[in-house]
Amino acid sequence: MAQHLKSSSSKSAFVNILKHNFGIGSQSHAARHLRPNLPNGPPRQNPISRLCNTMAEKLSVSSIGLHVDSNNQVLDFPGGKVAFTHEIQFISESSKERVPCYRVLDDNGQQIPNSHFVQVSEEVAVKIYSDMVTLQIMDNIFYEAQRQGRLSFYATTIGEEAINIASAAALTPQDVIFPQYREPGVLLWRGFTLQEFANQCFGNKSDYGKGRQMPVHYGSNKLNYFTVSATIATQLPNAVGAAYSLKMDRKDACAVTFFGDGGSSEGDFHAAMNFAAVMEAPVLFICRNNGWAISTPTSDQFRSDGVVVKGRAYGIRSIRVDGNDALAMYSAVHAAREMAIREQRPILIEALTYRVGHHSTSDDSTRYRSADEIEWWNKARNPLSRFRTWIESYGWWSDEAESDLRSRIKKEMLEALRVAEKSEKPNLENMFSDVYDVPPSNLREQELMVRQTIKSHPQDYPSDVPL
């Protein structure tokens, strides 16, 4: 039977074991770790020797978890017990089988037998579907407006509607959102109106950002939705900090941040994951793995099994979900939120999906992927048609309801577009405000210079911007 080492002779045995395993006592080891002695001071020990002596001394008062039997030795090291082995064994770069993907509905929208999911009411299910349709119509109209030259930029969420809407449905208004630029559905679910979307995209005087952000870079203080930053993955560490604040204040809420597979290649992703794990922050990391970071496929980004396996490396509970299955997304986020708040821990969700649209209006995705691939995902794995089939099976939806919804949303969207386009632009002074309580001299000089230039060359500047 294993015995705890507590006697003086056991201490010697322990030191000998550490010497053997760490190579202490060899000339090469000492040369690597011994530092010069300080003048007029005591000799300096190398760190491993100091660790041996310190840990051996502790054996006299309590066991540190080193167990010895005829077959095995175990070291109680920070993080848990570590077994020793006499073999050279490297951790495999990947497991033989890929992490499975949780889903509830098959590609035809039929519920998989014996599937486990969080049941939704008729009201919630219909709203999930209605908002997905609304998001799709909004994307199509804004995209066409950009192509007509009425907007400077736009990015769609076509093919990723379920991640947007279903995840938002599983959260509460108190949960703080740190989005990327492909999560307008979360705002839509929370009550952001079509007019508010249009105001932001046109940057008029009713835009909360006062025309200082690119289109689709939404934000709403009222709806706990932090303003989108174009810089990839910078929202991730911010979300962890907010989550830790919620924890300190004992709030019944969590922070939720969204990012793409490309964002997981940024340093901010790794810093945020480690920060969240160590601080035990209630934050949900939701990755939209759509296979492409603009034109870069995931095979050129990383060799791991997607993003979900990165959670274990940082000590974060993780799950892979079918991002085109609204019911699976709702259930996974619902369960993740409950764990994050109840257990005060971060959760990583990798949602496998596909970006059917171009990365943005600055992109032509047919230059790096085939039209057949896009069409297959749009038809065979369409998140809207799958969820519609499911709600129709319960008698909650019909062709008539579909026609009425699409007709109404299209009219509302075109009207919002017309109003936003005709609205006055923000005053020029807003370009220099809202950063400092008292603008510094360099900003005042810049404003004066801009005004003088406009006065000298009025034909080069838009006439609809109030001076």
Catalytic residues: 355, 359, 368
Dihedral (CA of 295, 301, 304, 310) sign:
negative
The CA dihedral of 309, 311, 312, 313, to the nearest 10 degrees, is 100
Radius of gyration of the chain (CA): 29
CA 161, distance to chain mean position in Å, is 16
Q: What is the DSSP string of 207-246?
A: -TTTT-S-TT---BTTTTBPPP-SSTTTHHHHHHHHHHHH
d(CA 55, CA 33): 18
Measuring CA to CA, how many Å separate 62 from each of 6, 56, 59, 66?
Answer: 7, 10, 5, 11
**What letter would DSSP give residue 428?**
G
Tokens 């310190």 locate to 54
Token pair belonging to 252 = 């019944």
- For residue 20, the tally of other CB atoms under 10 A from its CB is 11
Q: Which residues contact 388 (CB under 8 A, 6 or more apart)?
A: 109, 129, 397, 402
Report helix, strand or coil for 67: strand
d(CA 137, CA 131): 10
d(CA 258, CA 235): 8
